[in-house]
Chains A and B, each alone.
Chain A
Amino acid sequence: MQQYIIRRLIMLFPVLWGVSLIVFFAIRLAPGDAVEAQMEQSLFASEADIQKLKAQLGLDQPAHIQYIRWIGGVVRGDLGYSFSSREPVIDRILKKAPVSLELAFLSIIVGVAIAIPIGVVSAVRQDTWMDYGGRLLSIGTLSIPNFVLATVFLVFPAVWWGWTPPLGYTDLWNDPWKNFLQILPAALAVGARLSGTTMRMTRSALLEVLREDYIRTARAKGLKERAIIYRHALKNSMIPVVTIIGGQIGFLLGGSVVVETIFGLPGVGQLTIAAIRARDYPQIQGNVLFMATVFVLVNLLVDLSYAWFDPRIRYS
């Protein structure tokens, strides 16, 4: 197991190196650069000011030289400085990451809390109105884009009850209740969408397991149905479900941009969008590397969790 983990961690480096190459050169394909983006609000900047700024930001160098300098810093743990705020990139990420992680975590809880029970009921009561209702709900949550759901969860409480989440994001340690009220609607929107896929996977995986011989044996032995489902069947059906959820975490970290914007949550997604608009190359590169790292590590944890669900699985 340890060797497996070490091997997987070593594999992280070529993956991140590939990601760094792709993101570095891809963002430079977009028209404009950070200097031009900044000059939009500096209408009286002279040509000399523009060239001086380009030199300060290193944009007067060829792309491959910029890459070598940047990746050299990354290897030493220095992701560089944001072009727009002049702060260290890593500081900005570390400041924003907890917001995105909290949103992702709560969204998964919401998603799983909705998906697993409904998926189980759907499977156990196959081809009844409960099953049809569950499947309809899952299709509904999959069909509706998360920005629509987010807007619905924002607007309808305002219209019906005169309530919106409190303004001005507060972190968890300063005011947990206010933080919860701010994150909850966003987590509901993201989690509802996540629950669609998870629900369907739970249902189909459980249906497959319920047809296994050992389940028939357990029934024949006289075990209660509840014990059969929750002690035997559900655990064995969780591997594909955990895979789905693990894949969603990476998506949540990078894909909550819209929801973060709608709810005014200052997370990594919002930071990335602002950086793209400003052509803030170091920030974009740093954010993408961060998300890639988290994604790979989460996938490792997901793979390791298989061994807990199914003791037959061993990593050697």
Chain B
Amino acid sequence: MLKPRFMSLSVLVISLLALALLGCETQSSPGGTSQGGGGGDQGTAKRGGTLRYWATPIVQLDPCEQNASSSASPQALIYGKLTRYSNEDYYDTRLLPREAESWEASPDGKKYTFKLKKGVKWHNLPPVNGREFTSADVAWNIEFSKTCKTQGKLYWESVVKHEEPDPYTIVMYLDKPVASFLMYTAQNFNFILPREVFEKDGGFAKTVIGTGPFMNDTYEKDVVWKLKRNPDYHEISKVDNKPLPYVDAFEEYFMNDPASRLTAFRTGQIDLWWVVGGPTPSELKSLTDGNPNMIVNKVMRATPSGVIMSQKRAFKDFKLRQAISFAIDRDKISQTAMEGEAHYNSMIPSGITTYAWSQEKIKSMPNWQYKPEEAKRLIKDGGYSGLPMKFRGSLQVSTMGLGEKIAAEIICQDLKQAGLACENVWPDPGASTKDSRSGEYDLGWTTGNANMDPDEWTLSYYKTGATNNYTHVSDPKLDEIVVAQSIAVSETERKKLLEDFQQHMHDNLYFIPLPRMWEFKVSQPWIKGMGPLHWSYTLPGVERAWTDKK
């Protein structure tokens, strides 16, 4: 008699335990947020302390071999650049001096003269040993970068000749005007590397030396990268007239697991959550419930986001592309996959208001509407009923969040309802990149690097034959537009051409914009002085930040 009763009781207890363990958290908008970003009176800058940050593990350290957002942050603090973005707000692209104090461009856009700051020194570590940074270093980097496998190649390939009339002046001659040339000097991944290290090691994977505000301290692969302040940094604080940075150390902890990141941030072990992507709305709620004083900024992502289709397959047919666009229910994606916190990101990141179409305009464009009945008709009339296709969750970038993965499944469901035989596939990033480059895929989600440079999302992605032309589109009119905007000397002319680019992309549906989750940038309340956010991977403002942590 006892046993059956006990079994029933056991089932009840286990059920209750399971419920307690899994939790019953309901979804709601993240609460307890406060808009900050560093403006206003934050008190007097304090010296000392450590800033802690998390990132995913780095494969290797050589910026000439591989670029990744996880390595970019510490690298940007170690290595120098000629200029930097002013980061007055998230999408601010105005340039300020960094290792260069001034610059001048010729009217035809084919000659640039940079004057370097005097007294900038390389880190006092062998084999460079703290010598002065000169124009010869910039000259060496121009030629060296052309041999790299990364963005550095793109940035300097148009410089056909350079002269160094004195150690603090370099004159660069371009084979054609490059509208983004000055922006290149401030870009993610465009680091100035020391010649001596390459001569000693044959690369930059082992020895990390630059002219930046922080120096390499210790690097433990898959564990942590620790930097210490550079006592000889050239930028002086306007508050206490001493060299920046204020903090003694910057530490980047490598963390793969979302739960461990959340708990580390919640318990104050991590100070900044500024990686590309940010916490989801429900993760943010978990963070702010534990600490309502956290500083939260909500920004649009700095990457394009949408569906592209390989022009090597059936998607050459405009009607099929149109059907696919009409079949996708973007509101459902926004509410379901993005937890109601979404905006549109077209092929030009939406926050770049200088060039990108507004949210209202994107939502109103005729080819980007949800018309399921029209989609079914187009598919049926075109003879595409039952056409098999594989929707790739990611075409080249491995960091797809849960929201994007759910969205990919919703898209496939919508395509099935319209009459296509869609199947979700999730290839590994390496295999996916290979297929994207060869065009041997059907369709999928594309993003791109966070970049303010219009060439990244025009020339690199849509010019015939470009390395990153994953759509494999070959459209002479499009080529004409993207090339023209890349050499436009006048900003007015460039804006007009980028408007034409977006219109042409819409009219031909080479790209279907999708909702993308807002990006939340979160920092602990004791981090002061960082200034407003910036889209860059490279944590601008860290050298001006201090910590008030007791």
CB contacts (< 8 Å) of A307 on chain B: these are: none
CB contacts (< 8 Å) of B221 on chain A: these are: 85, 266
**A278 CA to B151 CA in the complex, in Å?**
21
B12-32 interface code vs A (CB 8 A; 1 in, 0 out): 011001000100000000000
Whether A204 is near chain B, meaning CB under 8 Å from some CB there, is no
Contact B254 A264 (CB under 8 A): yes
State which of B222, B259, B262 has its C-beta within 8 Å of the C-beta of A274: B222
Residue on A nearest B206 in the bound complex, by CB: A86
**A121 CA to B52 CA in the complex, in Å?**
48
CB contacts (< 8 Å) of B290 on chain A: these are: 158-159, 162
Interface stretch, picked from A29-37, A112-120, A236-244, is A29-37
State which of A43, A270, A278 has its C-beta within 8 Å of the C-beta of B468: A43
**A264 CA to B268 CA in the complex, in Å?**
17
CB contacts (< 8 Å) of A159 on chain B: these are: 266, 290
Whether B359 is near chain A, meaning CB under 8 Å from some CB there, is no
**Which chain B residues (287-307) contact chain A, with CB distance < 8 Å?**
290
**Which chain B residues (382-414) contact chain A, with CB distance < 8 Å?**
396, 398
State which of A36, A44, A167 has its C-beta within 8 Å of the C-beta of B148: A44
Known: A85-B221, A261-B256, A274-B57. A162 touches B267 (CB 8 A): yes
State which of A85, A151, A155, A266 has its C-beta within 8 Å of the C-beta of B60: A85
Whether B253 is near chain A, meaning CB under 8 Å from some CB there, is yes
Residue on A nearest B222 in the bound complex, by CB: A266
CB contacts (< 8 Å) of A33 on chain B: these are: 430
**A151 CA to B22 CA in the complex, in Å?**
11
**Which chain A residues (1-36) contact chain B, with CB distance < 8 Å?**
30-34, 36
Whether A176 is near chain B, meaning CB under 8 Å from some CB there, is no
CB contacts (< 8 Å) of B431 on chain A: these are: 31-32, 36
Contact A154 B428 (CB under 8 A): no
State which of B65, B253, B263 has its C-beta within 8 Å of the C-beta of A158: B263
Contact A262 B260 (CB under 8 A): yes
A55 to chain B, nearest CB (A): 15
Contact B253 A154 (CB under 8 A): no
CB contacts (< 8 Å) of A155 on chain B: these are: 259, 262-263
Whether A230 is near chain B, meaning CB under 8 Å from some CB there, is no
A269-282 interface code vs B (CB 8 A; 1 in, 0 out): 01100100111000
Contact B59 A158 (CB under 8 A): no
Contact A169 B223 (CB under 8 A): yes
**A95 CA to B257 CA in the complex, in Å?**
22
Whether A41 is near chain B, meaning CB under 8 Å from some CB there, is yes
Count residues of A near B (Cβ-Cβ below 8 Å): 51
Known: A41-B59, A41-B67, A278-B59. A158 touches B433 (CB 8 A): no
Residue on A nearest B257 in the bound complex, by CB: A262
Contact B263 A264 (CB under 8 A): no
Residue on B nearest A37 in the bound complex, by CB: B430
Whether B269 is near chain A, meaning CB under 8 Å from some CB there, is yes
CB contacts (< 8 Å) of A30 on chain B: these are: 428
Whether A172 is near chain B, meaning CB under 8 Å from some CB there, is no
Known: A36-B434, A84-B59. A140 touches B14 (CB 8 A): yes
B416-435 interface code vs A (CB 8 A; 1 in, 0 out): 00000000000111111110
A146-173 interface code vs B (CB 8 A; 1 in, 0 out): 0010011011001100111011110000
**Which chain A residues (56-94) contact chain B, with CB distance < 8 Å?**
84-86
**A263 CA to B432 CA in the complex, in Å?**
29
CB contacts (< 8 Å) of A158 on chain B: these are: 262-263, 266-267, 290
Contact A43 B151 (CB under 8 A): yes
CB contacts (< 8 Å) of B52 on chain A: these are: 167
Contact B429 A37 (CB under 8 A): yes
Whether B467 is near chain A, meaning CB under 8 Å from some CB there, is yes
Residues of A at the B interface (CB closer than 8 Å) are 30-34, 36-46, 49, 84-86, 132, 136, 139-140, 143-144, 148, 151-152, 154-155, 158-159, 162-164, 166-169, 261-264, 266, 270-271, 274, 277-279
Give 4 closest A-B pairs by Cβ, nearest first: A37-B430, A32-B431, A42-B149, A158-B263
13 contacts between A and B (CB under 8 A): A36-B430, A37-B430, A40-B396, A148-B21, A151-B259, A154-B259, A158-B267, A162-B266, A167-B52, A169-B220, A169-B223, A274-B57, A279-B428
